[in-house]
Amino acid sequence: MTDLGRAAASGATRGGVIALVGGLGAGKTHWTKGMVAALGCHAEVTSPTFSLVHEYRGGCLTVFHFDFYRLESAAEVIALGWDEYLDAGGLTIVEWADKFPEVLPQDAIWLRLSVEPDASRLVTRLA
């Protein structure tokens, strides 16, 4: 999954939002690890499940890595400073984005990550 994140980095844009959807263990954080590494940041990428957001600086784009899993409402997302992050000019990656799709911009790129029956991982772009 990390390699798929690396491959997707060529399409990363300043101010872009990538919405990741998929069950536990689908590879959302590993995909993000690949993306962050390919953008030139050498920080250790970990799941922001408990901290809710991690910032990765030092690459060609700052990456804001959110996890909506433990949030209960869109108001909680907004209270994290969501709008300020979107306006900061980095790349925003959101795990469990389908919990609050109403806060994501219309031009967000939606990706579904899944585990196939043979245990391989699949990334599908959603319309």
Mean pLDDT of 6-32: 93
Residue 46 to residue 5: CA distance in whole angstroms: 14
Radius of gyration of the chain (CA): 13
pLDDT exceeds 80 at position 17: yes
Mean pLDDT of the chain: 93
pLDDT of residue 72 exceeding 90: yes
Instruction: Residue 11: count other Cβ atoms within 10 Å of its Cβ.
Output: 10
Tally of domains within the chain: 1
Looking at residue 65, which CATH number applies to its domain?
A: 3.40.50.300
Print the domain residue range for 83.
2-126
CA dihedral 48, 54, 60, 61 (to 10 degrees): 90
- Which tokens is 110 given? 């939606």
